């Protein structure tokens, strides 16, 4: 049953229904407006013109917000590359015929999925500070890279586990005949996987990978806690200069929503495209027993 | 080794994890209630409610949880001085309630999407049949569609629950003394036990999330709607 055609649950409204719907709509709108008004009133000291005027200055954007966005996107971009590579390795390992390798990769994947991203970030951050052999890797001005490394590591560990499972389910979702055909033309099972199955699985998981990018961008905000100057942290630095926390907050939220909503739309677009091309069914996060399962607006069953 | 034992007696790891568990359970309840309401709004006959549900999901889901939690605590609690509990209750409990609100509001979007995906699994004919025997929208939703949708949504709801358990660590941004907050303090003051502390706390989360995962996969097969 598709929610888009939800009219099966109710009739097209008649004149009375339309009036009732309008009344409910009006009441709801008034309620939302009242809440917003209450919020605005409560925060009125924080929302006066003077708190917003810093955002009209170019140096606010040049020295705080734009670097914040760049740092957020930088951490997300590096993480998605490293997570894909590690995820590919873990997926291959988990599907390996060597029982030990397969078991080891399963344990690693399950561990990465169970431990909160923030804890892994904190751990790596403290490693770069307290573990001598690692902190030696950051001499002189490189010290500033420590929070970035910690953010990227935390995001990579968790998301590589997600991507590994995506790849595995992508391979599993391919028709059986593919493997049989590969074996039939004389490839061994490893070659079949590498040359026939994986490339299709990667195409099929592209939309899911882009949706996962949204999770990565959002989770990069955890860098706030280890003072990585991402968007949230830089907007708070800015706020401590102008003491306009709430205004800075709202601007940061709007920027995050714009970035993530465009990524969601991109994923939906890719999904539609891969569906029409029929090159392997798109892998859906929902099928995967994963968190943050529903990032696209796509109905699960047609 | 002695040092580690001293450390564990000095810091109360159990109360930190107890805080994590309490945050998880209360927020899960809140998220389930808000999420169900949003999911019903999204399939309701009233266009404005559908629009509100869609807007809520799209906006909240694309906002980082860190931002939502800090906004609740900084904006609503500290600036607006809004108290959810009577003023006489101590600030720690007040902070806890706002952390729960932030977690519930955020995870409600995932609950709503999970239930909506559950609604998608109910065959269209069932809703038609419900309508045919004269049930209203509310009746067919409450008695025919939702019970099946909830059973089909156990897996996504379970995933949301596990994600919620892990995401409670984010409230350390607001200074609630849960597991990751304690871990940060412990490592800062005893960096020589860095590895031991991390693996201890990580193990705590494995112990919390593994049984939950097993339970939800068991439950989803047990309560699966046979078609």
A155-208 pLDDT, tens digit per residue, is 999 999 999 998 988 888 888 888 899 999 999 988 898 888 888 888 888 888
Asked if the model's pLDDT at residue A298 lies above 60, the reply is no
Report whether B109 contacts B39 (CB < 8 A): no
Q: Do B117 and A300 touch (CB under 8 A)?
A: yes
By the 10 Å C-beta count (0-12 exposed, 13-18 middle, 19+ buried), A28 is classed as middle
Look at residue B83 and give its three-state secondary structure: coil
CB contacts < 8 A (A, B): 204
Cβ <8 Å between A3 and B49: no
- Chain A nearest-CA distance from B202, in A, is 6
Q: pLDDT at residue A80 above 60? A: yes
CB B64 within 8 A of CB A218: yes
* Residue A219 in contact with partner chain B when CB distance is under 8 A: yes
Domains of chain A, by residue range, sit at: 75-228
CATH of domain A75-228: 1.10.3720.10
Question: Mean pLDDT of all residues in chain A?
Answer: 85
Instruction: State the pLDDT confidence band at A285, using cuts at 50, 70 and 90.
Output: low
Q: Which of B67, B70, B212 has the most A C-beta neighbours within 10 Å, making it the best mutation to test the interface with A?
A: B67
Question: ∠ CA(B177), CA(A125), CA(A144), 5° rounding?
Answer: 125
Distance CA B38, CA B111 (A): 9
Report the b/e string of B22-41 with b at 16+ CB within 10 A: ebbebbbebbbebbbbbbbb
Angstrom distances, CA of residue A2 to CA of A237, A281, B118: 46, 19, 10
Q: Which tens digit of pLDDT belongs to each residue from B14-59?
A: 899 999 999 999 999 999 999 999 999 999 889 999 999 999 999 9
- B117 with A286: Cβ contact below 8 A: yes
> What residues in A contact B161, CB-CB < 8 Å?
none
Residue to test with chain A: of B19, B66, B164, B214, most A Cβ within 10 A: B66
Distance from CA of A219 to the nearest CA of B (A): 7
Yes or no, beta carbons of B121 and A130 under 8 Å apart: no
Among B45, B28, B27, residue whose Cα is nearest residue B100: B27
- Identify the pLDDT of residue B131: 87
| Chain B positions in Cβ-Cβ contact with residue A214 (cut-off 8 Å) | 62
Q: What is the pTM of this model?
A: 0.88
Q: Give CA angle at B115 (B43, A203), nearest 5°.
A: 105
| Res. A280: pLDDT tops 60 | no
Per-residue pLDDT tens over the stretch A34-61: 999 998 888 888 888 888 888 888 888 8
Taking the Cβ of residue B67 and every Cβ of chain A, the question of whether any pair is shorter than 8 Å is answered with yes
What are chain B's domains? 2-222 (1.10.3720.10)
């Amino acid at each position: 049953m598709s929610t888009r055609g939800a009219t099966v649950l109710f009739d097209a409204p008649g004149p009375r229904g339309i009036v009732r719907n309008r009344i409910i709509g009006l009441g709801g709108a008034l309620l939302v407006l009242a809440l917003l008004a209450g919020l605005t009133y409560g925060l009125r000291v924080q929302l006066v013109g003077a708190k917003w005027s810093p955002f009209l200055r170019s140096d606010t954007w040049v020295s705080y917000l734009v670097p914040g966005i760049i740092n957020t996107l930088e951490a997300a971009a590096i993480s998605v590359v490293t997570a894909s590579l590690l995820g590919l390795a873990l997926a291959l390992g988990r599907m390996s015929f060597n029982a030990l390798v397969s078991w080891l990769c399963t344990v690693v994947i399950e561990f990465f999925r169970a431990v909160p991203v923030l804890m892994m970030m904190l751990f790596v951050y403290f490693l770069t500070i307290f573990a001598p052999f690692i902190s030696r890797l950051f001499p002189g001005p490189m010290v500033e890279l420590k929070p970035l490394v910690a953010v990227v590591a935390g995001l990579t560990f968790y998301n590589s586990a997600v991507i590994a499972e995506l790849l595995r389910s992508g391979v599993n979702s391919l028709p059986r005949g593919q493997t049989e055909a590969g074996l039939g033309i004389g490839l061994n099972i490893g070659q079949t996987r590498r040359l026939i199955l994986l490339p299709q699985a990667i195409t099929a998981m592209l939309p899911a990978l882009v949706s996962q990018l949204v999770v990565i961008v959002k989770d990069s905000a955890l860098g706030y806690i280890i003072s990585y100057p991402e968007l949230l942290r830089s907007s708070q630095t800015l706020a401590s200069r102008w003491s306009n926390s709430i205004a800075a907050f709202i601007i940061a939220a709007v920027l995050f929503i714009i970035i993530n909503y465009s990524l969601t739309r991109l994923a939906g677009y890719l999904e539609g495209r891969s569906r029409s091309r029929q090159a392997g069914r798109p892998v859906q996060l929902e099928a995967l027993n994963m968190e943050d399962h529903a990032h696209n607006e796509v109905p699960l069953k047609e | 080794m002695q040092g580690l034992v001293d450390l564990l007696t000095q810091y109360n790891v159990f109360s930190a994890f107890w805080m994590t568990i309490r945050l998880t359970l209360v927020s899960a309840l809140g998220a389930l209630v808000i999420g169900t309401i949003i999911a019903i709004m999204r399939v309701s006959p009233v266009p404005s409610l559908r629009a509100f549900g869609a807007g809520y999901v799209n906006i909240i889901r694309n906002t980082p949880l860190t931002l939502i939690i800090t906004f609740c605590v900084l904006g609503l609690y500290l600036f607006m001085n809004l108290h959810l509990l009577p003023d006489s209750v101590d600030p720690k409990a007040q902070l806890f309630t706002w952390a729960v609100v932030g977690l519930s509001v955020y995870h409600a979007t995932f609950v709503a999407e999970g239930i909506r995906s559950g609604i998608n699994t109910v065959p269209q004919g069932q809703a038609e049949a419900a309508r045919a025997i004269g049930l209203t929208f509310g009746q067919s939703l409450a008695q025919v569609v939702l019970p099946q949708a909830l059973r089909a949504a156990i897996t996504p709801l379970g995933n949301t629950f596990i994600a919620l358990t892990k995401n409670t660590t984010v409230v350390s941004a607001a200074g609630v003394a849960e597991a990751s907050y304690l871990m940060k303090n412990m490592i800062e003051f005893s960096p020589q036990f860095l590895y031991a502390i991390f693996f201890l706390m990580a193990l705590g989360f494995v112990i919390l999330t593994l049984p939950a995962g097993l339970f939800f996969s068991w439950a989803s097969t047990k309560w699966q709607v046979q078609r």
